[in-house]
Amino acid sequence: MEKVILKETKKHKKHTALTKPLGGDFHQNEWALLGAPCSVINKFANDLGVLLSKNRKVGYVDASHEEVETEHPFDIYYHDKQAFAQIDTHTAFAEKQNRKHFSSLDLLLINGNHFKGDKQIVFINDKKKESLNRKLDRLTDLRMVIVENHKQDIHDFIKPLVTEQVAIFKITELKEILNSIIHDCKRYIPKLNGLVLAGGKSSRMGKDKGTLMYHDKPQREYEADLLKGFCEGVFLSLSQNQKIDGSESYPIIKDSFIGLGPYGAILSAFRAYPNQAWLTVACDLSLLNNESLSLLVEKRNPSKLATCFHNPDTNFPEPLITIWEPRAYPVLLEFLSHGYSCPRKVLINTEIEEIHVDQVEFMANVNDPKTYELILGKIRN
């Protein structure tokens, strides 16, 4: 029989490779508690949650060993109880859809006896020693070990995981544990990128607004220079069909969400860098200045979906100068799925940090030749 030799070919990729958000299945900042009976973990989570919730939004994920009989026939039951809302379902959340239920939180605690978590806190408890030994594959990022007292021996199979970066606390040292978690959270405040929204059609102006000169350089370059003083990286946002001549001083993110204007530009930036926050500015803000950007960054609240200015002329949040946190990415996508592509609509209907100021000239955008000449004269005089 003739031997057939197959030539080696490159592996076919079925799907586009995307950068995934940080964190685990439930949240970008989740902590699994494991190694002790559930009663111990639940009490610890509750006590810690009381302290954490004074300044942060905190959640808890747990599972019950007992079956609970529902008193209603509905697959989903929503009950608004004035002070809070309760949702009962007959089916568990789908694993890859868990995060949307917890996106408004700053931090999520998880009963690690039942679920995996991105970061782990291990209890040294003889009652769960064997159970913990069977869950070593869950210890992917051990941050903390909790002992009953400092004389207690750490399990031999845990010792190799206890590096210099792993803190050891007594279970009663709640304030020290709290401070350690808060310190960790501050280290992971998303870095801030800048994005000049310069991909519009400029139909009313009749020429590309990003190339207009107010300050002896193209406006999009001028704004990018301003952003550079406040951001880790600065990018120009351009449409797919927009021509570039190679003289641009900043990297470019071309729209990967087509035909959605600024909304698509913001989504395209998050698609490229989903773990960073974005300070977005429209390219036609001729009076944008360091003072307004400095105030926006100073008032930034990473616990909210976005930080923006209140525009008294519209009496709405101003979307043209906004810091969007990474948690905004799935929310923007969800609004899009419901037929909305207006950034202001998202700001109005979500929890944001809104800054009120007296002087609002820097929010003025230039859309037509008459306004351009007027503003240009004001700047040069």
* 349-378 tens-digit pLDDT: 999 999 999 988 898 888 777 887 887 777
pLDDT band at 69 (very low <50, low <70, confident <90, very high): low
Task: Kindly state the average pLDDT of the residues 113-134.
Answer: 96
Q: In angstroms, how far is CA 232 from the centroid of its own chain?
A: 16
For residues 54-79, average pLDDT: 83
Assigned CATH for 30-62+98-187: 3.40.50.300
From 63-72, 178-187, 191-200, 365-374, the region with the lowest mean pLDDT: 63-72
pLDDT reported for residue 1: 44
Confidence category of residue 166, pLDDT binned at 50, 70, 90:
very high
The pLDDT score that the predictor gives to residue 220 is 92
CA distance 173 to 354: 37
Q: What is the pTM of this model?
A: 0.89
CATH 3.40.50.300-classified regions of the chain: 30-62+98-187
Q: How far apart are CA 75 and CA 90, in angstroms?
A: 5
pLDDT in tens, 216-267: 888 899 999 999 999 999 999 998 887 776 667 899 999 999 999 999 999 9
Q: Please, which pLDDT band fits residue 70 given cuts at 50, 70 and 90?
A: low
- How close are the terminal C-alpha atoms of the chain, in Å? 90
Mean pLDDT, residues 256-282 taken together:
96
The mean predicted confidence, pLDDT, of the chain is 89
Q: Which of the listed ranges 8-17, 58-67, 75-84, 330-339 does the model predict with the highest average pLDDT? A: 330-339
Q: CB atoms < 10 A from the CB of 38, how many? A: 18
- Using alpha carbons, select from 301, 35, 32 the residue that is nearest to residue 158: 35
Domain with CATH 3.90.550.10 in the chain: 192-380
The DSSP secondary-structure symbol of 328 reads H
Q: How many CB atoms lie within 10 A of CB 381?
A: 5
List the one residue out of 317, 283, 288, 257 whose CA is nearest residue 201: 283
Which DSSP symbol is given to 19?
A: P
For the chain, helix (H) and strand (E) counts, in that order, are 9, 15
Give the integer Cα–Cα distance in Å for 8 and 5. 9
pLDDT at 308: 98
Domain topology for 192-380: Spore Coat Polysaccharide Biosynthesis Protein SpsA; Chain A (3.90.550)
To 5 degrees, how large is the angle CA 246–CA 252–CA 255?
A: 125
Q: What confidence category does residue 7 fall into, taking pLDDT thresholds of 50, 70 and 90?
A: low
SS3 of residue 154 by DSSP: coil
DSSP string, 251-272: -EEE-SSTT-HHHHHHHHHHHH
Whether the pLDDT of residue 163 is over 70: the answer is yes
User: Cα separation of 167 and 143, whole Å?
Assistant: 7
- Return the beta strands (E) in 273-351 as ranges: 277-282, 306-311, 316-324
Alpha-carbon span 280 to 329, nearest angstrom: 14
Angle at 55 between CA 49 and CA 61, to 5 degrees: 30
Which of the 8 DSSP states describes residue 362?
A: G
- C-alpha span between 44 and 149 (Å, rounded): 15
Q: What is the DSSP string of 183-194?
A: HHHHHTSPPEEE
SS3 78: strand
Residue 8: pLDDT band by 50, 70, 90 thresholds?
low
pLDDT recorded at residue 147: 96
Please name the amino acid found at residue 101: H
The strand pairing partners of 78, in sequence order, are: 87
What the block records as the tokens of 285 is 């803000």
Least confident of 72-76, 135-139, 331-335: 72-76
Please give the average per-residue pLDDT across 151-160, as a whole number: 94
Q: Is the pLDDT of residue 37 over 50?
A: yes
Confidence label for 130 from pLDDT (cuts 50, 70 and 90): very high
Q: CA nearest 109: which of 183, 168, 51, 49?
A: 49
The predicted pLDDT at position 82 comes to: 77
pLDDT of res. 68: 63
Quick check: 111 and 59 in contact, CB under 8 A?
Answer: no
CB-based contacts of 198, cutoff 8 Å, min separation 6 = 208, 209, 210, 220, 236, 237, 238, 283
Q: What is the DSSP letter of 213?
A: B
Structure tokens of 346? 């998202």
